[in-house]
Structure 1
Amino acid sequence: MSDSAAWEGTFHGEPAIWLKFGIYAAIMLPNIGGNLVAFRDTKRDFRFLREPSEEEMPAFKARPLNHGVPVLFPPNRYENGRFPWEGSTLQLPINEQSRNNHLHGFLYDTPWTVDDYGCTANESYVVVSVRVDETHPAYSHFPYTFTFTLRYVLSMHGLLQHVIIRNDGHRAMPCLLAFHTTINAPFTSEGASTDCRVKLTIGRRWELNDRMLPTGRFQSLSQEEEHMRDDGVYPFNEVMDNHYTAEAQDGRNRMELTDAKQGIKLIYDVGTSYKQWMVWNNFAKEGFFCPEPQINLVNAPNVKLPEHDIGLYGLVPGQIWEETSRLYVTQAPLFT
């Protein structure tokens, strides 16, 4: 049997593209937001991403945000759903009623097109895309024409994600993006959350108001957050729904989750174009947490700070934004 394969199948009854390379496997659900819901080490029975069970599929389809790698475009919260851009104001749907915000954009649950899948001796891959134009339901509140392409690749180097966003229209469009990446802790079949330590390349913590919107000011990092930046901490010590600047270490922007009992480290290297992090740990309930790489500050169009500092970028007609990220595994020191 070949070490490399890609095929059309199903996942709990949902159309899926399956990838295999060596010990690794991955599953993409194109009809549910282009969500890559599984990245596994099949030899050691590691499941790095939180996967929906068969019983969870109805809830997952209704709100596909807390499993796999959901695409957030535009990401996170926008005050009153309003979105000022280039002299006009867009009105996004209010879908967080309790805070009167728009939350998480419109690509995480829309169907994506499978453009290609296949395998070579060195990798297996799938390419999916979504095109927004006058025929897309989102165009009525986000009137820009663009193509968003995702390529996932399995190889001996783990799982690669390649993002390309191309402005196909005739005017500048905002380019605001994050991934609600859902990491299992533990990811080992016989592990425990208490064996896990997370390290993250955070810089400064943004102050958030009672609507979870940035005030434009910073707060001092707690001792726990300093340890998360420098050495690693237990992911569920305290409730985290926090927003940080990203500050690369050794030229790399990444999350590291170590199972210190088994000596395995999962690395999520997201690329330095992601200038912000959101970190959410499901109210400190053990099992999973979300290190969310993000281009822009939450609510960036409504924050009166320099565009460079808050990641408020646009794409002119024909322009492309792209970045790569990678999930992979290394050895780590054991508990002594």
Structure 2
Amino acid sequence: MISLQAYEGEFQGEKAIWLKAGCYEAALLPEIGGNLIAFRDVEIGLKFLHEPDLDEMQSFKERPMIHGIPVLFPPNRYEDGRFPWDGKVHQFPVNESATGNHLHGFLYNTPWEIDEYGQTNMESYVSVSVKVDEHHDAFQYFPYHCTIRLRYSLGENGLSQRVTILNEGEEKMPCLLAFHTSVNAPFAAGSSAQDYRLKLTIGERWELNERMLPTGRFQALTPEEALMSGEGVYPFFESMDNHYTASSQNGRNRMELTDLKRQITFVYDVGTTYKQWMIWNNEAREGFFCPEPQINLVNAPLVNLPADDIGLFSLDPGEIWEESSRWYVRE
């Protein structure tokens, strides 16, 4: 039986809940967006997520979207900050001056409550939540009573995540979510980014306009993008800030990142409810990139396409949406 621990500690001076399970360890920052900031194999020296160094912590807190696993709710861009829903138009703050859009929602930097942490016979775990109501800053923009809960668990088969959204109000609410997951390439000491090949279960590429909003049309995949959904491609073959439909392969919706030198594959297996993928690779600078599973198309409430095609989901009063993802290693 593997050794298991869950305890309160620190990560670069910030409050953290640490999980340990055999060779693995992970850390979550409850006071900075409920961000799962680290996932490592300490025995063979693998760091899978893009972690901030100590001297990066201030910039991380100012822009906590490119490290760990930030929660985007609602995700990505909304034109002029407008969010029409069920006969109303909510006005989100315009926080991306280059495009004049709202970007990434309200939960990636808000404090989350620690519900519990501990260990079972098989895993260590932590559960955190956010309750949105009149007392939460986001309610002025997103006036729906709801609770969002994250549970991470760590065991001999890696890291798993369960996300739950509960509508606690009296009206139908939008249920739009993504994770800005930030993955190291390379994740192994002694390897280079050139040793890595990326596979992602993408389908079609959405055409985006000059404001990074979808036109409703698709673009043909380049040869390198076709490799991304096939045998794999170097993750920094060109600058990417691209949006794709998800297309399951063999019943699964996932990213695979293979270190050819070490013959190790890091798998990020997300639920098939995530109908879209974003991928951003920091202007093709080697070091990390972000494969981002999304429920919904960018700017979905303002796109005139069928709701099920673009992941424009809703929750009636008392309804629950739940999905699971897993990160693991295949050698």
Aligned residues: 331
Specify the SS of the correspondent of 1:230: coil
**Which residue is equivalent to 1:334?**
none
Whichever residue aligns with residue 82 of structure 1, its letter is: R
Specify the SS of the correspondent of 2:229: helix
Cα RMSD for the two superposed structures: 0.8
Whichever residue aligns with residue 279 of structure 2, its letter is: V
**Which residue is equivalent to 1:70?**
70
**Which residue is equivalent to 2:34?**
34
Cα deviations by residue, 1:143-181 (Å, 9 ceiling, x for unpaired): 000000000000111000000000000000000100000
Are 1:320 and 2:306 counterparts?
no
**Which residue is equivalent to 1:213?**
213
**Which residue is equivalent to 1:14?**
14
Are 1:158 and 2:126 counterparts?
no
Instruction: Give the superposition deviation at 1:88.
Output: 0.4
Instruction: Give the superposition deviation at 1:191.
Output: 1.0
Instruction: Give the superposition deviation at 1:190.
Output: 1.3
Instruction: Give the superposition deviation at 1:120.
Output: 2.1
State the TM-score, normalizing by the size of structure 2.
0.99
Cα deviations by residue, 1:173-205 (Å, 9 ceiling, x for unpaired): 000100000000010011100000000000000
Cα deviations by residue, 1:95-135 (Å, 9 ceiling, x for unpaired): 00121100000000000000000012310000000000011
**Which residue is equivalent to 2:177?**
177
**Which residue is equivalent to 2:231?**
231
Are 1:303 and 2:303 counterparts?
yes
Q: Is the 8 A contact 2:133 2:139 kept in 1?
A: yes
Whichever residue aligns with residue 182 of structure 1, its letter is: S
State the TM-score, normalizing by the size of structure 1.
0.98
Gaps of 5+ in 1: 332-336
Identity over aligned pairs, percent: 64
Cα deviations by residue, 1:277-318 (Å, 9 ceiling, x for unpaired): 000000000000000000000000000000011000100000
**Which residue is equivalent to 1:203?**
203
Specify the SS of the correspondent of 2:274: coil
Cα deviations by residue, 1:63-110 (Å, 9 ceiling, x for unpaired): 100000000000000000000000000000000012110000000000
User: For residues 50 and 23 of structure 2, what CA distance do their matches in structure 1 show?
Assistant: 18
Whichever residue aligns with residue 298 of structure 2, its letter is: V
Cα deviations by residue, 1:260-286 (Å, 9 ceiling, x for unpaired): 111000000001000000000000000
**Which residue is equivalent to 1:262?**
262
Whichever residue aligns with residue 162 of structure 1, its letter is: R
User: For residues 98 and 199 of structure 1, what CA distance do their matches in structure 2 show?
Assistant: 30
User: For residues 278 and 4 of structure 1, what CA distance do their matches in structure 2 show?
Assistant: 34
Specify the SS of the correspondent of 2:238: coil
Gaps of 5+ in 2: none
**Which residue is equivalent to 1:116?**
116
Instruction: Give the superposition deviation at 1:2.
Output: 6.7
User: For residues 121 and 139 of structure 2, what CA distance do their matches in structure 1 show?
Assistant: 41
